[in-house]
Structure 1
Amino acid sequence: MKLTMTVGLSGPEFNLAPGDEREFNDDEAARLIDSGFAVKAEAEDAPAAVPAKTKKGKANVVSAEGDAGSE
């Protein structure tokens, strides 16, 4: 069964990143889907789902009111 990875996964024969597709035997595919590591790959004629982008980095730590310490 062809799966699309939702997380990274490495083994002696592969190194997969989120979004990568790979063929697995049915038992291994079921285990990966049940664990939330992968989903069934979409049909080739269907549009590929784009993973949601997440914001990385530090939060905005500057006060919206400017420098409150100086008057």
Structure 2
Amino acid sequence: MKIKMLTSLAGTDFALSPGEETERFSNAEAIRLIEAGMAAPVAKDKVERPTKKPAPEKRD
């Protein structure tokens, strides 16, 4: 799960600053950080897809 840090967090091999996005943690750990108010879930970006324009209407 991708989360955005709201507070700083550091470990033996990482350091995260507020505003940084990461997928470093397992889902359970990410949920724990969100519930503790240390992180927020990152919504998946919606991809815009082009659509075909309707053919112009022909009149006789």
TM over 0.5: yes
Alignment gaps of 5+ in structure 2: 48-60
Cα-Cα RMSD: 1.7
Q: Deviations over 1:7-54 (max 9, x none)?
A: 0100112100000011120110111001000000132458xxxxxxxx
Q: Distance in 2 between matches of 1:19 and 1:2?
A: 12
Aligned twin of 2:18: 18
Amino acid at match of 1:40: P
Instruction: Report % sequence identity.
Output: 41
**Structure having greater relative contact order (Cα 8 Å, sep ≥ 6):** 2
Alignment gaps of 5+ in structure 1: 47-71
Aligned twin of 1:6: 6
Q: Distance in 2 between matches of 1:44 and 1:10?
A: 27
Aligned twin of 1:37: 38
TM-score (norm 2): 0.67
TM-score (norm 1): 0.57
The alignment covers a number of residue pairs equal to: 46
